[in-house]
């Protein structure tokens, strides 16, 4: 049996749905309680039940400080060893993102997995096209405002990442002890603006950070993470592409421009 953690989230739910569409036996794990979902809370190790699970798709439990994220993943791996899991598929971060503000938790988790004695596959996911678009704003003149300048991002759609993860989870032996960099064709904020039929206005990183700090609802660790994405794209550190995603999909990745544009358009009406 395959179990996908984070089944209530954007990526985990897509991976689980893809497996089920392919008639691959799978269930989800999540804090929520819904049909077909096994309740588990990574902050409460006693709730993590991986019995009868052969392949664990560990969707990163981010959205916390590094120590908390790493402790969550360590608790899952302890349960995996205890309950007889054979293979862990981890949704990590693209290699080119080593300098990003949230990279450390991913690399630390990879180390824990490699030291666990379990078979493993690292899916080093690129920055979502949906996230790229969501980080773009609008001004009163109807211009798309971003801190990305002319920098390109090898953005990737969540649906493609979900399909790649499902492919690996359904046949883990052929992907054992391999790491894949899953990214798309590089795109720019200017291309997203053109797809929306508007002008792109580039602002400085300082202006961008000031705007982020004024955003309601952000947790303390989030502004520096967001800022690290902005400067990395602007200065050309996240535009490298590979053939790994295409190889797993058996086709070219979907065009990330309309995916990012749809996400950016939601900000205009929010």
* pLDDT tens readout for residues 27-54: 999 987 666 789 999 999 999 999 999 9
Tens digit of pLDDT for each residue in 100-126? 999 999 999 999 999 999 999 999 999
Which domains occur in the chain, in start order? Answer: 2-268 (3.40.50.720)
| Among 207, 224, 253, 4, CA closest to 104 | 224
Q: Which of 24, 161, 153, 21 is nearest to 100 (CA)?
A: 153
Give the mean model confidence (pLDDT) for residues 84-104.
Answer: 97
What lies within 8 Å, CB to CB, of 171 at 6+ separation is none
**Euclidean distance between the first and final Cα of the chain, in Å?**
41
Range of lowest pLDDT (35-39, 145-149, 174-178, 200-204): 35-39
Backbone φ and ψ for 37, nearest 5 degrees, come out as -115, 130
pTM of the entire predicted model = 0.96
């Amino acid at each position: 049996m395959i179990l996908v953690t984070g089944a209530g989230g954007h990526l985990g739910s897509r991976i689980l749905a893809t497996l089920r569409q392919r008639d691959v036996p799978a269930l989800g794990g999540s804090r929520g309680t819904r049909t077909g979902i096994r309740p588990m809370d990574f902050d409460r190790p006693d709730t993590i039940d991986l019995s009868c699970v052969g392949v664990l798709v560990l969707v990163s439990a981010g959205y916390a400080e590094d120590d908390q994220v790493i402790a969550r993943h360590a608790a899952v791996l302890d349960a995996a060893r205890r309950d007889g899991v054979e293979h862990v598929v981890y949704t990590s971060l693209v290699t080119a993102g080593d300098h990003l503000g949230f990279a450390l938790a991913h690399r630390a988790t990879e180390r824990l997995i490699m030291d666990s004695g379990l078979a493993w596959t690292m899916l080093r996911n690129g920055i979502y096209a949906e996230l790229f678009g969501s980080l773009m704003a609008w001004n009163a003149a109807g211009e798309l405002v971003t801190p990305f300048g002319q920098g390109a991002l090898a953005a990737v759609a969540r649906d493609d990442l979900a399909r790649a993860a499902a492919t690996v989870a359904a046949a883990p032996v052929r992907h054992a002890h391999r790491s894949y960099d899953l990214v798309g064709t590089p795109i720019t904020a200017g291309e997203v603006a053109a797809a929306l039929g508007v002008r792109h206005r580039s602002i400085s990183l300082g202006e961008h950070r000031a705007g982020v700090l004024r955003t309601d609802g952000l947790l303390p660790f989030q502004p520096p993470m967001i800022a690290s994405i902005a400067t990395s794209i602007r200065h050309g550190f996240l535009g490298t592409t590979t053939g790994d995603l295409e190889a797993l999909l058996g086709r070219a990745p979907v065009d990330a421009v309309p995916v990012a544009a749809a996400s950016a358009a939601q900000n205009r009406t929010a």
